[in-house]
Structure 1
């Protein structure tokens, strides 16, 4: 497993690119308390819609769900660090967003696949078009 810390100056562009690459991927969103204790599942096996940074608050919102009418937005207040987690083959496994309070939010993909491989599979299944 490899971890890469994303610098705060890169958050906006990283989150935009990450969201585009992984839109529709099934994720589990977990809230991890500071000082121990097990994670609390906020969402399980829902399609990722996107991650959005709000520099004015500051916060990062994680949008998941199958339709705009049936979605969940989980907001991470006071983020201080974003860590991209990849497997040894370089496929993204998810993200960890750490808060100033010591708590963190973890986004885990159901399947770790490199984005270029997933795009090829999605295009083949959709007859040449990527499903939305």
Structure 2
């Protein structure tokens, strides 16, 4: 994707970043894709065509960082009701914010097994540009 920037989040900032990301993007429609990390250089314009789509255009519920044994793992929860799923990603090696023209596009999680999980927003946007909470958040 033209203009896509991948900004690595330093390990020491992972807990605070995940908490902030979770709050800022709760309820946003996302596609979650599993893809070989090697296929992300350069990043594909449509990652769901390059990897395995786990969930398509479902509301983001939670992004949680957890310690599992000696490694960190991210747990992604998307969907509602019967369509809700939980996607573990880990052990996490690198974490990237994805931006297009300074707007939030999603998150890239690189794992130790040579795979990456992408949380890809349906539409890039700035959280502060949105007009408030979704009806189900009230």
Q: Pick the TM interval, shorter chain.
A: 0.7 to 0.9
Residue of structure 2 in register with 1:83 after alignment: 96
Residue of structure 1 in register with 2:79 after alignment: 65
Write the deviation string for residues 98-120 of structure 1: whole angstroms up to 9, x where unpaired: 011211011100011100011x2
Residue of structure 2 in register with 1:93 after alignment: 105
TM-score by length of 2: 0.81
| Alignment size in residue pairs | 123
SS in 2 for 1:62: strand
> Which structure has the larger Rg?
1
Root-mean-square deviation over aligned CA pairs: 1.9
Residue of structure 1 in register with 2:10 after alignment: 7
Question: Unaligned regions of 5+ residues in structure 1, if any?
Answer: none
How far is 1:35 from its partner? Answer: 5.0
TM-score by length of 1: 0.84
Deviates more, 1:27-36 or 1:40-49: 27-36
Residue of structure 1 in register with 2:46 after alignment: none
Q: CA–CA distance in 1 between the matches of 2:59 and 2:109?
A: 18
Question: Unaligned regions of 5+ residues in structure 2, if any?
Answer: 40-48
Q: CA–CA distance in 1 between the matches of 2:119 and 2:112?
A: 18
Q: CA–CA distance in 1 between the matches of 2:65 and 2:37?
A: 22
Query: Runs of 4+ in structure 1 displaced over 3 angstroms?
Result: 34-37
Whether the 8 Å contact between 2:37 and 2:110 is mirrored in structure 1 is: no
Residues 82, 34 of structure 1: alpha-carbon distance in 2 compared, 3 angstrom cutoff: closer
Residues 17, 34 of structure 1: alpha-carbon distance in 2 compared, 3 angstrom cutoff: closer
